[in-house]
Homo-oligomer: A and B are copies of this chain.
Amino acid sequence: MWIYEKKLQYPVKVSTCNPTLAKYLIEQYGGADGELAAALRYLNQRYTIPEKVIGLLTDIGTEEFAHLEMIATMIYKLTKDATPEQMKEAGLAAHYVNHDKALFYQNAAGVPWTASYIQAKGDPIADLYEDIAAEEKARATYQWIIDMSDDPDLNDGLRFLREREIVHAQRFREAVEILKEDREQKKVF
**Residues of chain A at the chain B interface (Cβ within 8 Å):** 1-5, 7-9, 23-24, 27, 30-33, 36, 40, 44-45, 47-48, 58-59, 62, 65-66, 69, 72-73, 75-76, 84, 88, 91, 93-123, 125-127, 129-130, 132-133, 136-137, 139-141, 143-145, 147-148
Contact = CB atoms under 8 A, between A and B. Distances in A.
14 contacts: A2-B3, A2-B62, A23-B93, A27-B94, A44-B103, A45-B102, A84-B147, A100-B122, A112-B114, A114-B116, A121-B141, A123-B140, A126-B136, A130-B137
A129 to B, nearest CB: 4
* Number of identical monomers bound together in the oligomeric complex: 6
Contact of A119 (B8, B97, B108, B137): B137
B123 A100 contact: yes
B103 A98 contact: no
Contacts of A45: 102
A100 B108 CA distance: 13
Nearest to A90: B93
Nearest to A24: B97
Q: Which of A23, A96, A133 has the most CB of B within 10 A?
A: A133
A1 B5 CA distance: 5
Contacts of A143: 123
Contact of A126 (B2, B23, B139): B139
B109 A94 contact: yes
Given A93-B148, A103-B47, A1 B69 contact: yes
A187 to B, nearest CB: 17
Contacts of A27: 94, 97-98
